[in-house]
Amino acid sequence: MKLVSTGIKGLDWMLGGGIPQGYLVSVIGSCGTGKTTLGLHFIYEGLKNGEKCLVISFDEDEAGLIQTAEGYGMNFSAHSDDLLIVRLDAEEVKKKVEGFEDHLKRIFETIKPLRVLIDPLTILETLFDDAGRYSFLAKIRGIVKAIGATGIITGESNIEKPSSSKFGIMEYVSDGIIVLKTYRENELEEAILSIEIIKMRRVNHQRKPRPFTISNRGIEVFEESELM
Ligand SMILES: Nc1ncnc2c1ncn2[C@@H]1O[C@H](COP(=O)(O)OP(=O)(O)O)[C@@H](O)[C@H]1O
Ligand SMILES: [Mg+2]
């Protein structure tokens, strides 16, 4: 099994080296927990290796994402030949849902990426019922798998069950699930961020959540530490 580095040293350690090549991994967390940041690390690692990378964004546009990445010291602009960032409007996708699969396939074909980030899927999920959500997520999975890419899809967590995605469907199409959370001892304390691997098919990964921070260098996981 070939492992793909996430670009985050402590997370690679938790995974036993990285994400198995070809896996589709869900990153789930509430707003501001670092889902996009984690995804950008994953993409930047690919760019540094000279790999073709695709980002499908339902949130920030290309300029915004590049600015966010550069805020973490990731020089995305230096790799523009290997990077395709496509911003999709969820409402537009919903209107033309029949054509969506072909549209997405064409985007994948133009770059044939080794790494894919789709961020965040929740916006699109919100527009469908359960059957519709499952159906388009399965289509996305099919497209990522067909091209042989390793992928990260991000989603908001369920308020009542913070280790689950908002609709509980992303989990079914994923080979792995990483959950990001914030803990707050009291209102006056700074929140502590934690990262946990809930599932990674056929991998003997770490099971304990670990603390992490987001700084101007992006995410740093403290693999030596345990949450109190
Ligand atoms: N350049 C930076 N330096 C330090 N922290 C940053 C920087 N950029 C973003 N952050 C932190 O990261 C958070 C956003 O993380 P993000 O990955 O966008 O979360 P999510 O996608 O889960 O909503 C911000 O709220 C801020 O705390
Ligand atoms: Mg985000």
Helix axes 35-48, 62-71, angle to 10 degrees: 80
Q: Is the CB of 36 under 6 A from ligand 1?
A: yes
Cβ pair 27, 157 in contact under 8 A: no
Which atom of ligand 1 is nearest the CA belonging to 38?
17
In terms of pTM, does the model score above 0.75?
A: yes
Which two three-digit tokens encode residue 104?
């997405």
Give the torsion sign (CA, 92, 93, 98, 99). positive
pLDDT in tens, 67-102: 999 999 999 999 999 999 999 998 888 788 778 889
Å from CA of 36 to ligand 2 middle: 4
Which atom of ligand 1 is nearest the CA belonging to 31?
23
CB under 5 Å of ion ligand 2: residues: 35-36
- Measured between alpha carbons, how far is residue 87 from residues 92, 107, 124 in Å? 11, 11, 12
pLDDT in tens, 147-164: 999 999 999 999 999 999
Decide yes or no: CATH 3.40.50.300 for domain 3-221.
yes
